[in-house]
Amino acid sequence: LFFILFIVVVSARTYADFTPQASFDIKKCDVHKLEEGPPLQAVLTREEGLQYYRTMQTIRRMELKADQLYKQKIIRGFCHLYDGQEACAVGIEAGINLSDHLITAYRAHGYTLTRGGTVREIMAELTGRRGGIAKGKGGSMHMYTKHFYGGNGIVGAQVPLGAGVALACKYLGKNELCVCLYGDGAANQGQIFETYNMASLWKLPCIFICENNKYGMGTSVERAAASTDYYKRGDFIPGLRVDGMDVLCVREATKLAAEHCRSGKGPILMELQTYRYHGHSMSDPGISYRTRDEIQEVRSKSDPISMLKDRMLSNNMASVEELKEIDVEVRKEIEDAAQFATTDPEPPLDDLCNHIFYNDPPMEVRGTNPWTKLKSIS
Amino acid sequence: MTAPVPCDICIINSILLLQVTVRDALNQAMDEELERDERVFLLGEEVAQYDGAYKVSRGLWKKYGDKRIIDTPITEMGFAGIAVGAAMAGLRPICEFMTFNFSMQAIDQVINSAAKTYYMSAGLQSVPIVFRGPNGASAGVAAQHSQCFAAWYGHCPGLKVVSPWSAEDARGLLKSAIRDDNPVVFLENELMYGVPFEMSEEVQSKDFLIPIGKAKIERQGTHITLVSHSRMVSLCLDAAAVLAKEGIECEVINMRTIRPLDAEAIETSIMKTNHLVTVEGGWPQFGIGAEILARIMEGPAFNYLDSPAVRVTGVDIPMPYAKILEDNSVPQIKDIIFSIKKTLNV
């Protein structure tokens, strides 16, 4: 009886201690052809805070583990890491529903997670194993889940695709929208302007989001764009410029954008000002075109996870121990996933020619020589 | 559509034969598929209010409206990408390129976004889309508007590439293409649009489909196999008619599909005739004929060849404008006859 009483008393004490929700000031967004930006305050509940913290930390740790595995040559090819930009993926998802749609470019591991992928299947895809989210056939840049269309390797090509998804949303009348992401480097692509035009003409429910991390590979925005006001580049499309390091700012802006789309007003454009700690990819040390000081300054002053942590702690929304425990759990999840990703077998050679066509009878595929006839199943 | 032609010879089981142009066959196929499946829609330049640059989509916008028949701005890369995205999200778009020359602007979307996605996603994401439009040489449209893209698209795994010749081909293959859950490149021919063909009642039925990947023997023969696609099939048949008077019987195979190539049909024919000439409108290097010949070399039919197989192709130059030059840039009936006689050593 005493034991039961003890548990009840301890639990009651834990929950009574914390603030269930608090209101935070968020940076004002610059607006373009919009009457009003998002509110200047955002309400965060304890549950939301813990969830955003956990997800951002998971992305952070997953990306750092990928860095490690790449240096050990267990991951090969291209690997574009997202650490530093976590508030974007998490904030966007917080402003939409899983029934909405999302497409991005190749810096996609974070989105694969927020859109429903597991760390295990993401890591196993990076290591090219059969347990990978694309059975090892896609790799870093080609991961897919429900209502998440990758992972796209050709810079800018994903933008018309995203508008096409939005067209399907409108056509099918399900009140869904498509979030369509691209970087500051891609923002100068012609096909993006073609897409702005058609999305506007046809009032497609599309949120265009430019993740401006200040560098397109090794080229700073000033050297690539005649106008670096990416949120204005949609011209006739209303736009907002958002602090992409603040998960709450991203969330509130996304909510506003989603409301705009769902009310039938057509597309809207968001520029998220963010930063990547890693270079463009694992083959880029990332310090030839920017200083270590710059990277360090962002880390110490604007890190998205630290910002959320400080907010929650200083408002008594969580305890240091609690957050540490989440860190431990996340670390374990990543370790387990890495273990799986390094021990799961590679795809069977039988799978080589599969998945050429969908819903087709089995067919023959020519091997490397005329005598080798391989089998392909849908 | 013209009134049924009274046909004395063909009153077999009271079959009603219609004369239908390739254009009308394409139009009817699209109309029926739009009606059959709400997810099917057509987009491209001038497809709606203009009734189609070549009138292939005549009447469709009036019948189905803005939602299903969409006029696009002149932005191929953009609208092809939009079409692919719509296919990924559950619709079944028909993306028209005014000619396939313009598809070069959008070729990244066709290959990298459409063709490869099912494979890269290991079966998670399919792309049920049709890219269609006129392909190859026309008349007097000069170099930038006359290229044949059969070999370019035929090169890529993940695509099906179809090249109809007759009205029956156009109808059955377009229906199959629209119902196919994979990206299909549908290569039409502007010079064939106005050509009428007889169409039996069976072909007129709403569920008449021609399987993608199967060639058709248009004319039986014993002395030599002619393999061709699209408009060149007409020339092969004309050449065969001329040679028949000299006692040379040509077997004319209409490929119907470029990819997957029906090598078996060609091999079976060669095992009977022992000679092969391929005929195409496109350029020779790395082309359709080149692929066919390579496959025959590598396959069982090689041992049946009594002389080397040869290709008749377009001349290896950009298409000139002046009529005399243009006429001499593409295979003529006399070129086919010449090549057949050289191959047969007669």
Residue % of chain A over a pLDDT of 70: 96
Q: The domain containing residue B200 runs over which residues?
A: 18-204
In terms of domains, do B318 and B223 share one? yes
Report the chain A residue with the minimal C-alpha distance to residue B89: A165
Average pLDDT score over residue span A299-321: 97
Residue B79 counted as domain residue: yes
Please give, rounded to a whole number of angstroms, the shortest distance from the CA of B84 to a CA of chain A. Answer: 6
Residue contact B82–A355, C-beta within 8 A: no
In terms of domains, do B188 and B262 share one? no
Residue contact A153–B113, C-beta within 8 A: no
Residue B12 above 70 pLDDT? no
Q: Please tell me which of the candidates A136, A149, A359 has its beta carbon nearest to residue B88.
A: A149
Question: What was the pLDDT predicted at A11?
Answer: 47
Contact A313, A320 (CB under 8 A): yes
Q: Please tell me which of the candidates B81, B89, B181 has its beta carbon nearest to residue A359.
A: B181
Among B66, B95, B104, B124, the residue to mutate for chain A (most A Cβ within 10 A): B124
Residue A10 above 90 pLDDT? no
Residue A154 above 60 pLDDT? yes
Residue that is written with structure tokens 């004490």 in the block: A13
Report the chain A residue with the minimal C-alpha distance to residue B113: A157
State the total domains in chain B: 2
Interface of B with A in 84-123 (CB under 8 A): 84-91, 108-109, 112-113, 117-123
Residue A15 above 70 pLDDT? no
In terms of domains, do B236 and B294 share one? yes
Residue contact B182–A360, C-beta within 8 A: yes
For residue A372, the one-letter residue type is: T
Question: What was the pLDDT predicted at B272?
Answer: 98
Please give, rounded to a whole number of angstroms, the shortest distance from the CA of B258 to a CA of chain A. Answer: 15
Residue B7 counted as domain residue: no
Residue B30 counted as domain residue: yes
pLDDT in tens, A63-117: 999 999 999 999 999 999 999 999 999 999 999 999 999 999 999 999 999 999 9
Question: What was the pLDDT predicted at B116?
Answer: 98
Peptide bond into A347 cis (omega under 30): no
Residue B327 above 90 pLDDT? yes
Q: Please tell me which of the candidates A136, A160, A360 has its beta carbon nearest to residue B85.
A: A160
In terms of domains, do B247 and B335 share one? yes
Q: Does B78 touch chain A (CB under 8 A)?
A: yes
Residue B2 counted as domain residue: no
CATH code assigned to A28-347: 3.40.50.970
Question: What was the pLDDT predicted at B6?
Answer: 47
pLDDT in tens, B135-166: 999 999 999 999 999 999 999 999 999 999 99
Question: What is the rounded CA–CA span in Å between residue A27 and residue A17?
Answer: 29
Residue with more model confidence, A275 or B13: A275
Contact B177, B212 (CB under 8 A): yes
Q: Does B158 touch chain A (CB under 8 A)?
A: yes
Chain B partners within 8 Å of A376 (Cβ): none
Residue B210 counted as domain residue: no
In terms of domains, do B289 and B255 share one? yes
Report the chain B residue with the minimal C-alpha distance to residue A206: B82
pLDDT in tens, A227-269: 999 999 999 999 999 999 999 999 999 999 999 999 999 999 9
Residue contact B91–A168, C-beta within 8 A: yes
Please give, rounded to a whole number of angstroms, the shortest distance from the CA of B286 to a CA of chain A. Answer: 18
Question: What was the pLDDT predicted at A17?
Answer: 82
Count of CB contacts below 8 A, A vs B?
152
Q: Does A234 touch chain B (CB under 8 A)?
A: no
N residues, chain B = 346
In terms of domains, do B121 and B143 share one? yes
Q: Does A21 touch chain B (CB under 8 A)?
A: no
- pLDDT, chain B, mean: 96
Question: What is the rounded CA–CA span in Å between residue A299 and residue B292?
Answer: 60
Query: What CATH number does the domain containing B140 carry?
Result: 3.40.50.970
In terms of domains, do B145 and B294 share one? no
Residue B9 counted as domain residue: no
In terms of domains, do B193 and B230 share one? no
In terms of domains, do B34 and B172 share one? yes
Residue A8 above 60 pLDDT? no
Could you say which of B173, B204, B235 is where a domain stops?
B204
Report the chain B residue with the minimal C-alpha distance to residue A163: B82
Residue B13 counted as domain residue: no
Task: Tell me which residue of B74, B118, B111 sits closest to B96, measured CA to CA.
Answer: B74
Please give, rounded to a whole number of angstroms, the shortest distance from the CA of A369 to a CA of chain B. Answer: 9
Q: Please tell me which of the candidates B77, B117, B122 has its beta carbon nearest to residue A160.
A: B77
Q: Does A201 touch chain B (CB under 8 A)?
A: yes
Query: What CATH number does the domain containing B325 carry?
Result: 3.40.50.920
pLDDT in tens, B179-238: 999 999 999 999 999 999 999 999 999 999 999 999 999 999 999 999 999 999 999 999
Could you say which of B157, B174, B204 is where a domain stops?
B204
Residue contact B298–A197, C-beta within 8 A: no
Could you say which of B177, B204, B231 is where a domain stops?
B204
Residue A303 above 90 pLDDT? yes
Question: What was the pLDDT predicted at B17?
Answer: 83
Residue with more model confidence, A183 or A6: A183
In terms of domains, do B35 and B159 share one? yes
Residue B4 counted as domain residue: no
Average pLDDT score over residue span A14-37: 91
Residue B5 above 50 pLDDT? no
pLDDT in tens, B244-298: 999 999 999 999 999 999 999 999 999 999 999 999 999 999 999 999 999 999 9
Provide the pLDDT confidence category of residue A283 given band limits of 50, 70 and 90.
very high
Q: Is the ipTM of this complex over 0.85?
A: yes
In terms of domains, do B310 and B340 share one? yes
In terms of domains, do B189 and B227 share one? no
DSSP string, A2-38: HHHHHHHHHHHHHHHHS-SEEEEE-PPPEEES-S--S
User: Domain ranges in chain A?
Assistant: 28-347, 349-377
Question: What was the pLDDT predicted at A3?
Answer: 55
Distance of CA A52 to the CA centre of its chain: 13
Residue that is written with structure tokens 């993006």 in the block: A192
Q: Does A356 touch chain B (CB under 8 A)?
A: yes
Q: Does A159 touch chain B (CB under 8 A)?
A: yes
**Active site residues per annotation of B:** 76, 145
Determine which of A12-26, B1-15, B71-85 has the lowest per-residue pLDDT on average. B1-15
Provide the pLDDT confidence category of residue A4 given band limits of 50, 70 and 90.
low
Token pair recorded at residue B70: 């969409």
Global pTM? 0.95
Question: What is the rounded CA–CA span in Å between residue A355 and residue B7?
Answer: 48
